Amino acid sequence: MSSLNPLTEIYRDQWLLVVHKPAGLLVHRSPVDPHETEFALQYARAMNGGQYVYPLHRLDRPTSGLLVFARDPDTASTLGKALMEGKVRKRYVAMVRGWCPEQGVIDHPLREEPEDRRSKDDEAPIRDALTRYQRLATTEIPVAIEGYASSRYSLVALYPETGRRHQLRRHMKHISHPIIGDANHGRGRHNRYFAERFGQGRLMLAATGMAFAHPVTEEWLQLAAQPEASFMQVLTIFPEHPSAQDLTGA
């Protein structure tokens, strides 16, 4: 494990540890990359004085943003139940291809995906999945990527009401506005353009806001984290720089 901890502390009390996870870091050991040796769980444990922490939700490897750990099993159980019951509000921001509608609801069931996509199971159950979205900004750049003289993009806030694997990425593909940098559900030509222009091909999806009743004090806790520099660099294609409130909702 590297001596330089890539996690940034956002919030801490005696029950919770909330960090910002950079893109490219797995939360824990996974068949996605069985040879990986560094995980957010290890680094969070180091931030907790070497004591075990309990990850409470998923954050895909290429997605950056807020990641919540409990510091004891009782807190993990209480907040984990709140997550399962849909009592935790989550906000993501994403850059997508095209100009999407100003707002909308994507109510589109999804088949369960295994953690390792090579183990695809056509008999896996289909679950309800719902995402709300709001367009924050649009831009058009004078670059021909798919046969048009210019290319259009939107910055959107995404609010998942359910927690299916890769839900946001699959839902945005479903409405024909795939997330830039999504190797599995996106558009290769657009992904390559941004990878070449900015020297990095990251997924343009970040978890920037979360709110819930504290599992012990019951006070309403609102968490926010600005996207990391690699995300903000790509947003320079928008003529008006998005505000902190646009990105985090705080």
Q: Cα 72 vs. chain centroid, distance in angstroms?
A: 25
pLDDT digits (tens, 9 = 90+) for 5-46: 999 999 999 999 999 999 999 998 776 667 777 899 999 999
Residue 60 among the catalytic residues: yes
CA gap 30, 243 in Å, rounded:
35
Quick one: pLDDT at residue 124? 82
Which residue ranges form the domains of the chain, and what is each CATH number? 8-248 (3.30.2350.10)
Place of tokens 């003289």: 149
Considering Cα of 178, then 107, then 127, then 30, what sign does the dihedral take? positive
Alpha-carbon separation of residue 21 from 44, 145, 192 (angstroms): 10, 31, 24
- Point out the catalytic residue in the list 13, 33, 60, 74: 60
Taking only the tens place, the pLDDT of each residue in 161-179 is: 999 999 999 999 999 999 9
